[in-house]
Amino acid sequence: MTANGHQFAISRAKDGGFEGAGLRSFFEYRDLGIKQATGGEFGAHVIRAVKPCPDGTGQHRHALGFQMVYVLKGACSFWYEGQGTYDLEVGDCVYQPPGILHELQSCSEDCELLEITMPAEFGTEEA
């Protein structure tokens, strides 16, 4: 354990599994162990589509201090308040400032995202 109370963590793809429990029913989530290693200060997980999301999530915002999304596979489309709509593909990265109103408008069937947040657990407010 380090001075800030964080612990070393490693998450190996061959040992990791996806779970259906999460914010959206059309996604499954693979926890990367960051929440446990940081005592909940940060979170990181891979989000994988279990089916396409053609209808969107509805506009919402999250109560958190940091949120970053990186596209690992497939494609998706997000709308951001004051910014417009962005079609994202492999290698694209978005920093979503705290409280920004946004919506996942669609995602491909093979979509996979890396999401990093602070804190690990956070609230969601529908618009």
Neighbouring-strand partners of residue 74: none
For the chain, the structural domain boundaries read 27-122
Say how many C-beta atoms besides its own lie within 10 A of residue 6's C-beta.
14
Instruction: Give me the pLDDT at residue 24, please.
Output: 64
Contact 44, 30 (CB under 8 A): no
| 28: its two tokens | 């499954």
Instruction: Give me the pLDDT at residue 32, please.
Output: 95
pLDDT tens, 65-94? 999 999 999 999 999 999 999 999 999 999
Contact 76, 102 (CB under 8 A): no
3-class SS at 35? helix
For domain 27-122, give its CATH number from 2.60.120.10, 2.60.40.730, 3.30.450.90, 3.20.20.220. 2.60.120.10
Instruction: Give me the pLDDT at residue 86, please.
Output: 98
Instruction: Give me the pLDDT at residue 20, please.
Output: 59
Q: pTM for this structure?
A: 0.88
Instruction: Give me the pLDDT at residue 69, please.
Output: 97
